[in-house]
Amino acid sequence: MIGVCLRHFYRIVKRFREEGIPGLRLKSTRPKKSPNQAPKREEDQITAVRKRTGFGSNVAALVNESNQREGKEKRGGINCL
């Protein structure tokens, strides 16, 4: 009747009971954690290289090569580190 499945309807009702009208607003679906996110140090390194060189997404290959030269391993599932 209202165009949502029963499970979603119950979620809406629960949020309304807990938060009132503000609970009915659309919520972000963005994950709270990113397990594959690069460590802050390496993220800063990539950003610095991008600013200095003007490269776009190709910076990942440069960072990988630099890390290999320093004897660091690539992490599984992460392309740029």
For 2-20, how does the pLDDT look when each residue is reduced to its tens digit (9 = 90+)?
788 899 889 889 999 999 9
Pair 35, 69 in one domain: yes
Where the chain has pLDDT below 70, the residues are 1, 72-81
For 36, the token pair is: 């594959």
Tell whether 79 and 49 lie within a shared domain.
Answer: yes
Sign of torsion, CA 56 49 72 37?
A: negative
Q: Count how many domains the chain has.
A: 2
Q: Do 26 and 49 sit in the same domain of this protein?
A: no
pLDDT at 81: 40
pLDDT of residue 75: 52
| pLDDT in the model for residue 46 | 79
Residue 56 neighbours by CB under 8 Å, 6+ apart: 50
Query: Which of 44, 37, 76 minimizes the C-alpha distance to 63?
Result: 44
Predicted confidence at residue 20, as pLDDT, reads 92
Element (DSSP H or E) covering residue 47: helix 40-53
